[in-house]
Structure 1
Amino acid sequence: MYKDSVVPVKTETFSGIAAKSPIGQNIKEVLRRACAEKRLTVGLLPAIQYLSKTCQGALFCLTVEAPPGDNATHMQEVLLQAFCVENDIYVIKVDSEAKLRKMLGVCCSTMDFSCILVHYPYTDPFSDSQEFDLSVLSQSERDLIEHCESNWGYSQIPVIKLPEK
C-alpha cells in the first residue's frame, strides 16, 4: 500500500547533503562564466519578477534554504522551485549563501544571494522561439544538466556542498 509512495534515496545523498564532488566546482565555473557574460539574475525577488515575465531563457535556478523560522521566504522558495520544475528549469540547492557571494566576488553584504538564475547563453528571453543551441553550453553546464537530470523527479533536492575556495 505505501510502497508506491516511497521515493528511493541515493546513498550519496542520504543525509540530504551531497558529498563534496566536482558538482560544486562545476557550479563555481558556471557562475563565474555566467557572471562574466552577464547571464545572472541575483536575488529571490528579482528572480521571481524575471520568471513572472518569461520563463524562457532560464537554465538553472540555484537556491539556498531559508533560515529556520523564516516561513515567508521558505514559502516563496517552495513556490519558485515548483514553478521552475513545471517549466523545465533545473533547480540546484546549495549549502551556503556566503559561498555563492564569495564565488562571484561580490563584497556587498546587503545583496540577497538566496536565489540565482543562470540564463542560457546568447538567447533572447522574450523571443517566441523555444529552441536553444545546446552546443554553446560549457562542459560544466552540461555536467550540471546531467546532475540535475539524474535527480529529476525526487521529492527532495540534494543540497550541494560548495567548495570553500
Structure 2
Amino acid sequence: MTLEELVACDSTENKMKSVSEAVEQLLVAAQRQGSLTVGVYESAKLMNVDPDSVVLCLLAIDEEDEDNIALQIHFTLIQAFCCDNDINILRVSGMERLAALLGEESPRDSSEPRDLHCILVTNPHTDSWKSQGLAEVASYCEQSRCNNQWVPYVALHAR
C-alpha cells in the first residue's frame, strides 16, 4: 500500500466517523424537537402528504435483515421517491445503536420493538432549531452523489 492510499484510507475513516457522530447528534436533536418520523409505513404516509418537509431519510438495516425481500422492495420505492423529491438519503447499519439513541427498549423485551428501518428527519416550519449535524450529513450526501454513490452508507457503532 502506498502512502497516498494510506492517507486516503485514514481520511475516509475519519470522515465516516465524523458523519456517524453527526447522524447521532442529528437524531437526538430532531427527536427532542419532534421532527422524527419512525417506521416504513409512517414514513411513506408522511412523504405522500408532505414531502417538502422531509430533509433526510435514513434507511437502517443490519446484516441479518439483508435477505428480507419485502424490506428491500420498500427501500427501493422509498429511495426512488427521495431521488424524485431531492431528499437526502443515507443508509445506516447498527440497529442496536439506533434503538439506544432513540430510547427504544431492548429487543429482548416481550413487546414488539418499533420499526426503525426507515426514519425521516423533517424540517419544522420554523427556524427554531438548526443542526450542525444536519449540515454535515447533507454535505456528505452531496459529496457521495458527486462520486456516483447515490445512497451513501454510514455505520453506527454500539458504545
TM-score for both structures, normalised by structure 1? 0.76
Structure 1: state its 5+ residue gaps: 1-10, 13-17, 125-132
2:125 maps to what in 1?
123
SS of equivalent to 1:143: helix
Find the counterpart in structure 2 of residue 130 from structure 1.
Answer: none
| Residue aligning to 1:41 | 37
Deviation larger for 71-80 or 57-66:
57-66
| Structure 1 residues 149 and 113: CA distance shift in structure 2, 3 A | same
SS in 2 for 1:83: helix
- Structure 1 runs of 4+ with >3 Å offset: none
CA drift at 1:105: 1.6
Structure 1 position 138 matched with structure 2 position 131: yes
| Cα shift at 1:155 | 4.8
1:157 counterpart letter in structure 2: V
**2-side partners of 1:136 and 1:151: how far apart?**
26
Task: State the one-letter code of the partner of 2:105.
Answer: C
Count of residues in Structure 1 that have an aligned counterpart in Structure 2: 140
**Partner of 1:86 in structure 2?**
84
**2:102 aligns with one of 79, 101, 104:** 104
| Counterpart position of 2:152 | 158
Residues 155 and 140 (structure 1 numbering): CA distance in 2 closer, same or farther, change over 3 Å? Answer: closer
CA deviations over 1:7-52 (Å, ceiling 9, x no partner): xxxx76xxxxx74411000000000000000000001111011111
Distance 2:66 2:115 in 1: 17
Q: Is the 8 A contact 1:25 1:163 kept in 2?
A: no
**Structure 2 counterpart of 1:24:** 20
Contact 1:65 1:74 in 2 (8 A): no
Shift of 1:104: 1.4
CA shift digits 1:40-98 (9 cap, x unpaired): 00011110111111201101000123713311110111110110111011001101222
Shift in alpha-carbon separation, 1:60–1:98, aligned structure 2, 3 A:
same
Aligned alpha-carbon RMSD (Å): 2.2
Question: Residue 59 of structure 2 aligns with which residue?
Answer: 63
Q: Percent identity?
A: 24
